[in-house]
Amino acid sequence: MSDFPQPKPPRRPRYSGKNPRNFSEKYKELHPDRYADDLQKILDSGKTLAGSHRPILLPEILRILNPQPGHIAVDATLGYGGHARELLAAIQPGGLLIATDTDPLELPKSEARLRALGFPPDSLLIRRMNFAGLQKLLAETTPHGADLILADLGVSSMQIDNPSRGFSFKIDGPLDLRMNPQRGLSAASLLTKLSPPQLEKILTENADEPHAALIASSLFTPSSPIITTTQLAHRLRQILQTLPTTTEVDLSIRRVFQALRIAVNDEFSALDTFLRHLPKCLKPGGRLAILSFHSGEDRRVKHALKSSFLLGDYSAIAPDILRPTPDEQRSNPRSSSAKLRWAIRSA
Ligand SMILES: C[S@@+](CC[C@H](N)C(=O)[O-])C[C@H]1O[C@@H](n2cnc3c(N)ncnc32)[C@H](O)[C@@H]1O
């Protein structure tokens, strides 16, 4: 034993109540290496650990994409790297995983986790970029295209759970909603620039919000701009107070956040470009799987796959959507709205 006094482990943050409620206080979840047993209990209770993300429909996606040693695989939405980790392992030896994500805050952490798995350094190529640019990246790196491509659309649990990203109406934080906070306008700034008709259009087109007109005409109070997530939620509760149930109010609030998120990240135009380029990104016989989380995304995926199939670019497409089993939905409630579609590039 050393004669020198050992440094004390850092004190856990102080918090009120029995369990930590705020993201930064969740010291066990933010240090998974030290608290594995406690964290398994949290997972068994159907929650997602703060700072992580649980891959959805993983066995089904692996069955559809059928990754094999030597394959070139693309994960266009790396997130926490849950799907990527399995793809990377399955294509060894000799395979290459190209992973992209637009999020500059989470991407380096996910890259470090994947590199720590110990696969050859050149089996992994990571780029912070919008997947709308995938065709260009592949033309530069793998001109014959990829054997398989995965896109798991929307936002990660790390983005939702981190109050400073402003994705959740349940946690107070700046009303930001950008996947890349270094680009474009935050949702708070966007709100100051929209006219009521423009806001109504965004709410209707991006989230099918039935109360779009009422919300758009009532939300604007130039004397007190909305700058935080909970201010927006509070304003919406006031505007929608005549709805019969709080569940309906909460659903509308959720849709308003979704619509603003889609607007600030220009999600539909990125998705349309990605879908249009996909056939050219795949090798003949290459496979594609796309997970979507709301009807606006799924409609686009469905129509794009169908029109490329009719043009002969795909030899087969999913006849219907695949959904998580009731067991998966129970153990990971965030999987509940997921819809999976696939396609196979013509030979
Ligand atoms: C649902 S998460 C992916 C989770 C991942 N499959 C996993 O297992 O951890 C979606 C990710 O896609 C990223 N993303 C969304 N739209 C994007 C786009 N247009 N280009 C690149 N990344 C995007 C988000 O930043 C987020 O990290």
Q: Cis (ω within 30 of 0) for the bond into 93?
A: yes
The packing angle between helices 246-264 and 229-239, to 10°, is: 130
Question: pTM for this structure?
Answer: 0.88
Query: From the CB of 151, is ligand 1 less than 6 Å away?
Result: no
Residue nearest to atom 24 of ligand 1 (CA): 155
User: What is the phi/psi pair of residue 91, to 5°?
Assistant: -95, 5
* 163 secondary structure, DSSP code: G
Residue nearest to atom 5 of ligand 1 (CA): 79
- pLDDT by residue, tens only, the chain of 347 residues: 344 455 555 566 565 666 665 656 665 666 666 766 666 566 556 556 677 889 999 999 999 999 999 999 999 999 999 999 999 999 999 999 999 999 999 999 999 999 999 999 999 999 999 999 999 999 999 999 999 999 999 999 999 999 999 999 999 999 999 999 999 999 999 999 999 999 999 999 999 999 999 999 999 877 788 999 999 999 999 999 999 999 999 999 999 999 999 999 999 999 999 999 999 999 999 999 999 999 999 999 999 999 999 999 999 999 999 999 999 999 999 999 999 999 999 99
Query: From the CB of 100, is ligand 1 less than 6 Å away?
Result: yes
Distance CA 178, CA 159 (A): 9
Count, in order, helices (H) and strands (E) of the chain.
15, 7
Query: From the CB of 169, is ligand 1 less than 6 Å away?
Result: no
Query: From the CB of 167, is ligand 1 less than 6 Å away?
Result: no
Substitution candidate for ligand 1 out of 49, 61, 75, 77 with most atoms within 8 A of CB = 77
Tokens of 240: 């929608």
Query: From the CB of 131, is ligand 1 less than 6 Å away?
Result: yes
pLDDT at 1 (0 to 100): 37
The packing angle between helices 196-207 and 295-310, to 10°, is: 60
Residue in the block written with tokens 């099918």: 208
Distance CA 310, CA 260 (A): 34
Query: From the CB of 291, is ligand 1 less than 6 Å away?
Result: no
Tokens of 164: 């400073």
Domains of the chain as residue ranges with CATH: 58-157+268-345 (3.40.50.150), 162-265 (1.10.150.170)
CB 256 within 8 A of CB 229: no
Sort strands 339-345 and 314-317 into parallel, antiparallel or unpaired.
antiparallel
